[in-house]
Amino acid sequence: MIASAKAKPGKVGYASGGSGTSTHLAMELFKSMAGIDMVHIPYKGSAPAITDLLGGHVDVMFDNMPAVMPHVKAGKLRALGVSSAKRSALAPDLPTVAEGGVPGFEVRVWYGVVVPAGTSKEIVKKLNGEINRILALPDRKAAVCRSWRRGNRWYTRAVRRAYQGGNGEMG
């Protein structure tokens, strides 16, 4: 893919879930580190981007594994690598981008559960309790959930630090 992009600078189009999204920024980092020039084609979310990738309207994209792995397993998409520093337990045969020729490349994405400002502390507490109860269910202890929970502790600390920079309250 890198060789193809280098042979056709500015001609390979990559999809993203929109300007400024993690999928967009991951590819911008990839382009910079690989020394290639590709055209950004932003979509209004990953679903339409994946649809156009499946239809051959765009050449490549970064996206989250749960969104694309069903298409990879069905033979409709070809996964080239994972953006993490280590191979994924969900696809251990898939190399990292670093292994594939871009040393030092690593992008990890995290998600948070957010509610509108002003949501009562009781609702926040109830949501937190239910989310943690669900994550503790035996069938949720797969590698992906264990990985998310490790990241969640970091995310919670980061959000708390950022939020306390405002009025000091954390809902």
Res 145: pLDDT: 47
In one letter, which amino acid is 122? E
Res 170: pLDDT: 40
Residue in 108, 66, 46, 47 with CA at minimum distance from that of residue 83: 108
Distances (CA, A) of 164 to 116, 156, 159, 160: 17, 12, 8, 6
Residue written as token pair 């382009």: 31
Collect the ranges in the chain with pLDDT lower than 50.
Answer: 143-146, 148-152, 155, 166-171
User: pLDDT, tens digit, for every residue of 48-73?
Assistant: 999 999 999 999 999 988 889 999 99
Res 109: pLDDT: 79
8 Å CB contact between 11 and 39:
yes
Residue 25 CB neighbours (<10 A)? 15
CA distance linking residue 79 with residue 98, whole number of Å? 14
Residue written as token pair 């996964």: 79
Res 147: pLDDT: 52
Res 151: pLDDT: 47
DSSP codes joined into one string, 104-170: T------------TT--HHHHHHHHHHHHHHHTSGGG-SHHHHHHHHHHHHHHHHHHHHHHTTTS--
Res 131: pLDDT: 83
- DSSP classification of residue 82: B
